[in-house]
Amino acid sequence: MTAVSDAPLKNPAVTVIGGGLAGSEAALVLAGRGITVRLIDRKPGSMTPAHSDKRLGELVCSNSLKSDDPATAGGLLKAELRLLKSPLIALADTCRVPAGSALAVDRDMFAQRVTDAVDAAPYILRESAYAEDWDADAYTVIATGPLTDGGLLKKLTARAGKALHFYDAAAPILSGACIDRSRCFTADRYGKGTGDYLNCPMTKEEYRVFYEALVSAKRAELKAFERSEIFEGCMPIEIMAARGYDTLRFGPMRPVGFVYPDGKRPAAVAQLRRENAAGDMYNLVGFQTNLTYPEQRRVFSLIPALGDIEILRYGVMHRNSYLSAPDALDACSRLKACPKTWVAGQLSGVEGYVESILSGHLAARHLVDTIEGRTPVPLPEVCLSGALPRYLAAPNPHFRPMNANFGILPPLEKRVRDKRANQQQYAQRSLSKLKVVLNVLT
């Protein structure tokens, strides 16, 4: 291992593997609480196929950390992280570039400031090494991200078992409130199951309009390694559609297996599967996609029951190694099989830059509590920072990485017709509760 800095550290209390968004946040939070940290990153000696910057805290794709408006889920998450005094969000705030209501950053400046902050922290010893294993008897945070590979991946697979997945092609998740129930019916195909599916029939003409929009819609760019690796395993719906007009009608949109009240079979059926116990989140089944976010909204809203579509988590396609959190981790993101090991970032089942920062932050908070002899307590469930880890831990046979969205929060007591007013209520409820818990004076 090559020591990049020579901080006078003896017996580091915690080893953090991975100096991306989650790992850098975790290291800075731990060091800020006086806990010595050994931070190991494979950079600059070796790089994953998605990383190209030798510094820590690299944003691998977009430079946007999403909306900064607290009445959106992305904005609320950042507002909560500011209350929690997240070091990385504070640094992002100093690297802003104009982007309307979004927090976009100068990625070079951001990576530099994260690296400088880590190197300046007296309690962090940074090492450049490609970790192939970890000491399960010592406090460790594994935050090696979605491109975790090699020996470390093998060890995780051995210790977490079947709970480790690769190559994510996720379908969008929609708000239950946006579905026009008069345009769909509840039934499981061939009558099997427990009525967890909503089915959205389409006429010949509706299918034609949808199909044409789908095959001509704009797709997001993939990295070269993803183009070759992902598409073999899980085909995006737009690629499947491009193979022929009827391919979807014989695939995920096949209209068979239902008894139709009027006896007439529609041209196609889009299925929505209930995603959570409350039934306020639905997965668009088989619609894994690489369309850009605005195109997902435009094209999928052409399904008659989804004219008013509200997408809580967009479909994504990228190489992704992640743990099935409900099986592998406890509610504090600790590996069930190794009680001194925490997993943070995308590897722990969250999706997104800011969610990864949150996850690193929470792992560090829980570790501080554990090391100082207190029982770690999750944040309130009305806050995204409390709801997301709860979502990860809840039993879910269809688990897929999740981002921050209002659908994971407990329902509002008084929902009103105005969507923005509801979003403001979520934000207000969360931030006031978090301030009480953190004892922040307003």
Ligand X SMILES: Cc1cc2nc3c(=O)[nH]c(=O)nc-3n(C[C@H](O)[C@H](O)[C@H](O)COP(=O)(O)OP(=O)(O)OC[C@H]3O[C@@H](n4cnc5c(N)ncnc54)[C@H](O)[C@@H]3O)c2cc1C
Q: Is 223 in the site for ligand X (CB under 6 A)?
A: yes
- DSSP conformation letters of 347-408: GGTB-SHHHHHHHHHHHHHHHHHHHTTPPP-PPPTTSHHHHHHHHHHS--TT---B---GGG
Nearest approach in angstroms of CB 171 to ligand X is 17
Please identify, using beta-carbon distances, which residue of 130 and 185 lies nearer to ligand X.
Answer: 130
Among residue numbers 303 through 332, which ones bind ligand X (CB under 6 A)?
Answer: 318-319
What is the rounded CA–CA span in Å between residue 98 and residue 108?
Answer: 15
Binding to ligand X by residue 86, rule CB under 6 A?
no
Is residue 234 involved in binding ligand X (CB under 6 A)? no
List the one residue from 13, 50, 109, 136 that touches ligand X (CB under 6 A). 50
Toward ligand X, which CB reaches closer, 17 or 125?
A: 17
Tokens for 84, please give them: 């929690």
CB of 270 to ligand X, least distance (A): 26
- Among residues 14, 22, 291, 408, which is the contact residue for ligand X, using CB under 6 A? 22
Specify whether the CB–CB gap between 69 and 59 falls below 8 A.
Answer: no
The site that binds ligand X (CB under 6 A) totals a number of residues, namely 34
Query: Would you say 91 or 198 has its CB closer to ligand X?
Result: 91
- Residue 114 or 253 with smaller CB distance to ligand X: 114
Q: Is 435 left (phi over 0), alpha (psi -120 to 50) or beta?
A: alpha
Q: Which residues contact 334 (CB under 8 A, 6 or more apart)?
A: 341, 342, 343, 366
Contact 302, 209 (CB under 8 A): yes
Taking CB under 6 A as the binding criterion, the range among 7-15, 138-146, 174-182, 283-291 that sits at the site for ligand X is 138-146
Residue 62 binds ligand X, judged by CB under 6 A: yes
How many whole angstroms from its chain centre is CA 323?
A: 12
CB nearer to ligand X: give 131 or 214. Answer: 131
The binder of ligand X chosen from 152, 164, 281, 299 (CB under 6 A): 152
Torsion angles phi and psi, residue 95, rounded to 5 = -115, 20
Contact call for residue 349 and ligand X (CB under 6 A): no
Q: Kindly state the smallest distance separating residue 433's Cβ from ligand X, in Å.
A: 25
**83 near ligand X (CB under 6 A):** no
CA distance 182 to 207: 18
Query: Rounded to whole angstroms, how far apart are CA atoms 55 and 46?
Result: 12
Tell me which residue has tokens 């979004």.
102
Q: Which stretch binds ligand X (CB under 6 A): 11-19, 88-96, 275-283, 297-305?
A: 11-19
Choice from 304, 352, 378, 386 touching ligand X (CB under 6 A): 352
Of 130, 166, 185, 260, which one interacts with ligand X (CB under 6 A)? Answer: 130
Distance CA(338)–CA(278), nearest Å, equals 32
Among 76, 118, 131, 141, binds ligand X (CB under 6 A): 131
Q: Does residue number 20 form part of the binding site for ligand X (CB under 6 A)?
A: yes
CA distance 146 to 93: 25
Site string for ligand X, 356-375 (x = CB under 6 A): x-------------------
Please, is 310 exposed, middle or buried when counting C-beta atoms within 10 Å of its C-beta (0-12, 13-18, 19+)? middle
Stretch that binds ligand X, among 38-46, 78-86, 211-219, 263-271 (CB under 6 A): 38-46
Residues 372 and 189: their CA atoms lie apart, in Å, by 53
In 3D space, the residue among 256, 240, 282, 235 whose CA is nearest the CA of residue 398 turns out to be 282
Residue 154 vs residues 134, 150, 161: alpha-carbon distances, Å: 12, 6, 10
Q: Which range binds ligand X by CB under 6 A, 37-45, 87-95, 207-215, 409-417?
A: 37-45
User: Is residue 1 a contact residue for ligand X (CB under 6 A)?
Assistant: no
Interaction site with ligand X (CB under 6 A): 17-23, 40-43, 48, 50-51, 60-62, 130-131, 143-146, 148, 152, 223, 318-319, 345-347, 352-353, 356
